[in-house]
Amino acid sequence: MRLSHYFLPTLKETPAEAQIASHRLMLRAGMVNQTTSGIYAWLPLGLRVMEKIEKIICEEQDRIGCHKVLMSTIQPADLWRKSGRYEDYGKEMLRIQDRHEREMLYGPTNEEVITDVMRQYVKSYRQVPQVLYQIQWKFRDEVRPRFGVMRGREFLMKDGYSFDLDFDAAKKTYERIFGSYLRTFARMGLTAIPVKADSGAIGGDMSHEFQIVAPTGESAIYYDAAFDSLTLEQMTLENVSGLYAAAGQNIPSHLARKLWGRMAKWWRWKWGLTALAFPAWWRPLLKPTMTTRASSGRTPSRPLRSGC
User: Residues of 135-171 as b/e, b for ≥16 C-beta within 10 angstroms?
Assistant: bbebbbbbeebbbbbbbbbbbeebbbbbbbbeeebbb
**pLDDT tens digits along 30-80:** 999 999 999 999 999 999 999 999 999 999 999 999 999 999 999 999 999
Q: Taking 50 as the threshold, does the pLDDT of residue 263 lie above it?
A: no
**pLDDT tens digits along 157-175:** 999 999 888 888 888 999 9
Give the residue among 209, 185, 205, 184 at the shortest CA–CA distance from 195. Answer: 209
| Residue 25 domain-assigned (yes or no) | no
Q: Taking 50 as the threshold, does the pLDDT of residue 260 lie above it?
A: no
Residues in the chain: 308
Cα(218)–Cα(245) distance, integer angstroms? 16
201 — pLDDT class (breaks 50, 70, 90) = low
| Residue 13 domain-assigned (yes or no) | no
- Which structural domain range is residue 207 located in? 33-307
| Residue 119 domain-assigned (yes or no) | yes
The enclosing domain of 64 has a CATH number of 3.30.930.10
| Residue 2 domain-assigned (yes or no) | no
Amino acid (one-letter) located at 31: M
SS3 120: helix
Domain count, the chain: 1
